[in-house]
Amino acid sequence: MSEEITTNLENEQEQIGFGPRIGATALDFVINIIVGAIMGAVLGATLVAIFFPDAADPSGTEGFDDAAAAIEGFAAIFAGIIGSMAGVFLMTIIMFLIEGATGQSVGKMILKIKNANVDGSKASAGTLWTRALLKYVYVILALIAGITGIALIGTLGFLLGLVIFIGCFFVLGEKKQSIHDMIAKTAVYRK
C-alpha cells in the first residue's frame, strides 16, 4: 500500500517548464566551458611540452633564426587552442555520461531537478540513457565522425543536433517536454 501512495505522490508532481531548464542548461554551459578549458589548457600544455619542448623555454630558441622561433611559438599557441577545444569536447562527453547515468546534468543537480518518466515515476536506466543519447546525439556522431574520418556522419550529427536544439523549445508548450523528452517518454520534475 505504501508503494501505491509513493507512486501516486510522485505522479502528482508538476513538470518543470522552460525557466528552470534553461537555467540548468546555462549552468551546464558555464561549467563545461570553464572545466573544459582548464582540462584543455593542461592537455595543450602537456602536448606542447612533449612535441615542442623549446617553445616553453625561451633560451631553447638560441641558434634558431627568428622565423623558426616564430613558427615554433605559433605551433605552441595552436596546440593550446586545440587542447582547449578538445577539453571542452571531452567535458561534453563527461556531461553526457553523468546525465545518462544519473538522470541529471550538473546544472540540474544544482537546481534540484531531475529527469523522470512522463508520469513522474522514477525512470529506468534504459530510459535515462535513451534520453541522454538523443540529447547528445550531435556529440556522439561528431566523435564517430572524428574517429572514422567520415564527414557525412559529422553532417548528420549537426543536422540531428539542430533538430534537438529546435525541439528544446517544445518545452514552452503545454506538455513542457522537449523533443528528446517526447521520444524517450520523459519529463523534468523537482527532485
Question: Residues, the chain, total?
Answer: 191
C-alpha closest to that of 100 among 47, 150, 136, 76: 136
> pTM score, two decimals?
0.78
Cβ–Cβ < 8 Å for 88, 32: yes
Q: State mean pLDDT over 138-163.
A: 95
3-state SS of the chain is CHHHHHHHHHHCCCECCHHHHHHHHHHHHHHHHHHHHHHHHHHHHHHHHHHCCCCCCHHHHCCCCHHHHHHHHHHHHHHHHHHHHHHHHHHHHHHHHHHHHHCCCHHHHHHCEEEEECCCCCCCHHHHHHHHHHHCHHHHHHHHHHHHCCHHHHHHHHHHHHHHHHHHHHHHCCCCCCHHHHHHCEEEEEC
Residue 129 has pLDDT above 60, yes or no: yes
What's the mean per-residue pLDDT of the chain? 86
Cβ–Cβ < 8 Å for 123, 117: yes
Q: Could you tell me the CA-to-CA distances from 6 to 77, 107, 122, 159 in Å, in that order?
A: 57, 26, 11, 41
Q: What is the pLDDT of residues 156-177, one digit of tens each?
A: 999 999 999 999 999 999 999 9
Report d(CA 88, CA 168) in Å as an integer. 22
Cβ–Cβ < 8 Å for 36, 87: yes
C-alpha closest to that of 93 among 47, 40, 42: 40
Cβ–Cβ < 8 Å for 191, 122: no
CB atoms within 10 A of CB 50: 9
Beta bridge partners of 186: 117
Q: What is the pLDDT of residues 32-88, one digit of tens each?
A: 999 998 988 888 777 777 776 665 555 555 555 666 667 777 777 777 788 888 899
